[in-house]
Structures are given as C-alpha cells and as structure tokens.
Amino acid sequence: MYTQPASTLTPAVIIYLIDISDSMNEPCGSTTKIAMVNLALRAAIKDMVRRSMRDGILQRRYKLAVVAYNNNVQDVLGGVRDLPELLQNGVPDLMASGATDTAAGFTQVESLLSRQLPELQQCPAPLVCHLTDGLFTTADPTSIVRRIRAMTVIDGPVLLENIYVADGMLRRPAQDWQQWEGVLKPNDLADDYARFLFRLSSPLPETYRQNINNYGYHLQSGAAMFFPGSTSDLIRLAFVVSAATQLK
C-alpha cells in the first residue's frame, strides 16, 4: 500500500483542511498561528514544485485543494486544482476569524473526495491534511472522518493527517525535532484533544516515512500522521509530510 508514485499519469491529490477560526490570530513565537500556517503552506507547495520539476518544466504530479473553515467553509481554490494552475494565481494567503465548525470542514472534504475518487483509482491514495488549534465548537466530526478514511483507491485508503497547533501536548518534549520519533501511542500525549485527533489520524505509511527521513528526520515505524504544531519547525515538518508521496 501507498507505493503508487505521483506522476503526470497518476497525480497525487492533497486536500488541506485549515482551521481559520479567530484563535488562529493568537501569537505564536514572534508571529501568529495563521501567519505560521501560511508560511508552512507555501513551503509545502514549494516542496511539491521541487518534486515536480523536470527539464525546468513543472509537471502535473500534484493536485491540490484548500478548504478553510470557521463558522463557514471556504473552498479556497474552487475545487481540486493542478499545481501549475494553482501557481498561475499564486499561493493562497489565509485570514482568520470566527468560530470552529470542524464537522462542516470535513463534510466539504468528503464531498470533494466523493466527486474525485472515481478518477483517482490508479493514483496515489489521496491525503487530507487537517490543521487546527482547538476544540471544535459545533458537531463532533468523528463519523465524517471515519467515512473519509473508509474511502479507498487501489493504492490504499484515504490518508488523514492531523496537525494540532498547541503547546505542551507531548509528555516527553523533544530537544531536537530532527531526532524526534513521532507520536507512537495516545499515552505519548498529555492533552485530551490531542489524543482525540491522534485517534482520527492514519498510520504514517512506510514510503512516506522513508521519504521524510531522507530530509534528515528520524520518524519511527509505527508513528501516526499526527503532529504537534507547537513550533514553526514542526508545522513545516507536518506540511512536508503531506507532500511526501512516493515519486518514480
């Protein structure tokens, strides 16, 4: 599973589901959470560009959607877009305000995937990268997430990655994120909502783990696609994971 390469014939679909509720305006280091997310999104898209270049030409190896949610849901790119098409209009810059309707965000993702899935059977399993900084303020999204994770292509079920932007959730804080093993079990987490998101997350596929570790990280076998977004380095790592589809 999860070995199909992202190629022009079989592009990888990545959907970013971003919480843009008002709390994302809170400070985080020398900046705000939402500014950090915008930088990480740009870095992830840049990684995809790097991984899609051939002869100085950007190949159509990735397709992206960006769904932003607060009280409302915005389909930022107006559906799933080829990477070259997205770049013609520039990388989106997200602004934060309002409440946290996580379930509505996942419902939009489910709808996008349902429409796309028949065309994606030969492609790498789609990946949903969800980033949030706090507890949902409306319905519990668990049942929708389960339906999304039950969607499947030949390469494997849809992958769900969660990034939780909060401090102090790791029982054993890492000194060096490059050496960090990843989150292996719920007890590694000190926060109830972190454990909730951990349980919704897919296991990190071996191909993704190897591709990430080629960047100098040391994620362990058995780690989940769950990342604490407590520093810009970690958010960057988590977004890099989202683009770490196998290449040919």
Q: In Å, what is the CA distance from 153 to each residue of 25, 40, 44, 110?
A: 37, 28, 24, 15
Query: What is the smallest separation between the CB atom of 54 and other proteins, expressed in angstroms?
Result: 5
149 scored as a contact of other proteins (CB under 8 A):
no
Q: Which residues contact 88 (CB under 8 A, 6 or more apart)?
A: none
Give the number of other CB atoms < 10 A from CB of residue 222: 13
Query: What is the smallest separation between the CB atom of 43 and other proteins, expressed in angstroms?
Result: 10
Virtual torsion, Cα 211, 213, 216, 219, nearest 10 deg:
150
Comparison of 10 and 102: residue with beta carbon closer to other proteins: 10
Q: In the chain, which ranges are E strands?
A: 12-19, 27-28, 31-32, 53-54, 57-58, 62-69, 73-75, 81-82, 127-132, 152-153, 156-157, 159-164, 226-228
Query: Please, are residues 196 and 162 in contact by the beta-carbon 8 Å criterion?
Result: no
CA nearest neighbour of 161 among 244, 60, 56: 244
Binding-residue pattern over the window 39 to 68 for other proteins, x denoting contact by CB under 8 A: ---x--xx--xxx-xxxxxxx---------
Q: Which of residues 109-138 bind other proteins (CB under 8 A)?
A: 122
Comparison of 105 and 205: residue with beta carbon closer to other proteins: 205
| Tally of residues, the chain | 248
Q: Could you give the CA distance from residue 115 to residue 127 in angstroms, rounded to a whole number?
A: 15
Comparison of 57 and 150: residue with beta carbon closer to other proteins: 57
1 scored as a contact of other proteins (CB under 8 A):
no
Q: Which of residues 71-90 bind other proteins (CB under 8 A)?
A: 84, 87-88, 90
The span of 3-11, 27-35, 156-164, 217-225 binding other proteins (CB under 8 A) equals 3-11
One of 2, 7, 103, 160 touching other proteins (CB under 8 A): 7
Give the number of other CB atoms < 10 A from CB of residue 27: 9
248 scored as a contact of other proteins (CB under 8 A):
yes
Comparison of 45 and 235: residue with beta carbon closer to other proteins: 45
Residues of this chain that bind other proteins (CB under 8 A): 4-5, 7-10, 42, 45-46, 49-51, 53-59, 84, 87-88, 90-91, 122, 248
